[in-house]
Amino acid sequence: MTSISILFVCMGNICRSPLAEAIFRHLVTEAGLTGRFTIDSAGTGGWHEGEPPDRRSVATAQRHGIDIAGLRGRRIQPADFNSFELILAMDRDNLATLGKIAPPEANIRLFGDAALGTGEDIPDPYYGGPDGFELVYTRLLTGCSSLLEALGVERASCSGNTSSVR
């Protein structure tokens, strides 16, 4: 079976993209397809390189049975454009930044287009409260589930509270 490589990208790689990485990885694991995917996340900026995800992202993921505390922020590297078949930007600003630094053959798409089919940006919850992180989690879970299905994989069944929406 061929492996599919996906990179989720936001601005600092501490809020949205690590959540997307962990949610998608969780869905893939639950579907028994771990060997079929390479999944990672990165930021367009390097402000948080080496740092763990934002504590509010960690808490939100934990409430849904997903542990992201071990992830570390990193900035996107030129090699990523060749290493990942699909690069998903969380919003139009990051999409534009990626478009300026990527080679023309890179497959960069807006998460809201590729995963949700709505064209929406996934809002940056960094300057808000817990409700913003919960909203982001919900949108990412919906999109990641749809993305897994769109990639020709039978929809992953979410057990436990992972699929819960508050």
Domain hosting 77: range is: 4-150
152 against 33, higher pLDDT: 33
Give a yes or no: residue 11 inside a domain. Answer: yes
The catalytic residue among 15, 16, 40, 54 is 16
Task: Give CA–CA dist 43/107, Å, rounded.
Answer: 16
Q: How many residues would you count in the chain?
A: 166
Q: Tell whether 32 is covered by a domain.
A: yes
162 within domain boundaries:
no
If one counts the domains in the chain, the total is: 1
Q: Is residue 164 part of a domain?
A: no
Q: Report the chain's mean pLDDT, rounded to a whole number.
A: 91
- pLDDT, residue 152, reads 63
Residue 166's pLDDT is: 28
Distance CA 84, CA 78 (A): 11
Residue 109 counted as domain residue: yes
Residue 90, pLDDT > 90, answer yes
Tell me: the pLDDT tens digits for 68-87? Answer: 999 999 999 999 999 999 99
Tens digits of residue pLDDT in 9-53: 999 999 999 999 999 999 999 999 999 999 999 999 999 999 999
The CATH number of residue 55's host domain is 3.40.50.2300
Q: Which of 74, 124, 139, 144 is catalytic?
A: 124
Report whether pLDDT(161) > 90: no
What is residue 28's predicted lDDT score, i.e. its pLDDT?
96
Could you confirm whether 15 is annotated as catalytic? no
Does 72 qualify as catalytic in the annotation?
no
Q: In whole angstroms, give the CA distance from residue 159 to residue 156.
A: 9
Confidence of residue 156 (pLDDT cuts 50, 70, 90): very low
Position 159 confidence tier, pLDDT thresholds 50, 70, 90? very low
Residue 155 maps to a domain: no
Torsion of CA 10, 75, 8, 90, to 10 degrees: 10
pLDDT at residue 127 greater than cutoff 50:
yes
Q: Report if residue 156 sits inside a domain.
A: no
Does the annotation count 74 as an active-site position?
no
Q: pLDDT at residue 153 above 70?
A: no
* Spatial CB neighbours of 7, under 8 Å, sequence gap ≥ 6: 40, 41, 42, 76, 80, 83, 84, 86, 87, 88
